[in-house]
Each structure stands twice: as C-alpha cells, then as structure tokens.
Amino acid sequence: MVVEFNVRVLDIANKSDALGEKMSDSKLVRKVLRSLPSKFNMKVTAIEKANDLSKMKLDELFGSLHTFKLHLEDGVSRRKPNLVLTSLKEGQTK
C-alpha cells in the first residue's frame, strides 16, 4: 500500500510540475500526512513531533511509513494462531 501510494504521489507531483506548478517536498509531505488512513494516526503524530516538516523529504516520509507498515503487518502475523486444537468425544478417533 505505501509503495503504491508513493508512486501515485510522485506521479501527481510530476504532472503538476509539467503543468507549471512545482510542489515543494514540504507541501507534499503535509498533504500525504493528511491523507493517510486512521491506522497511521499515531505514526503521523510521531512524525509531526519528531521532525521539522518544512525540511522533511518525501522519500524520508515514505521510508518511515513503509517501515511502520511492515511493523504493523508483523504484529498481525504474530497474533495469528499457530495451533489448531480439535476435540474428540470419548471413544471417537480421527
């Protein structure tokens, strides 16, 4: 998701530049942060508190978001049950 979103943002920025409106990284960073789904809220807050958004590069932002997404996915995969228990009635065999 993050990689595809990065490609779309860069495509829009390039088209905007071709039409004569150059969008700065800081403007793009702010727009990206506003457009993220709610599961990224805590990461957005952390990025806003820890970084000077006027100096942050778009590739830094997407690198951070990609890492966060990987951690989210890793946490979900760890929560999946690895063991399935079945019950048998007394005297019943598989």
* pLDDT score at 73: 87
Mean model confidence pLDDT for the chain? 88
* pLDDT score at 85: 63
CA 10 to CA 54: how far, in whole Å? Answer: 18
Higher local confidence (pLDDT), 85 or 58:
58
CA 64 to CA 77: how far, in whole Å? Answer: 20
Residue ranges of the domains in the chain?
A: 2-79
Higher local confidence (pLDDT), 88 or 19:
19
CA 87 to CA 94: how far, in whole Å? Answer: 10
Please choose, from the candidates 25, 14, 87, the residue with its C-alpha nearest in 3D space to the C-alpha of residue 33: 25
Q: Are 29 and 52 spatial neighbours (Cβ–Cβ below 8 Å)?
A: no
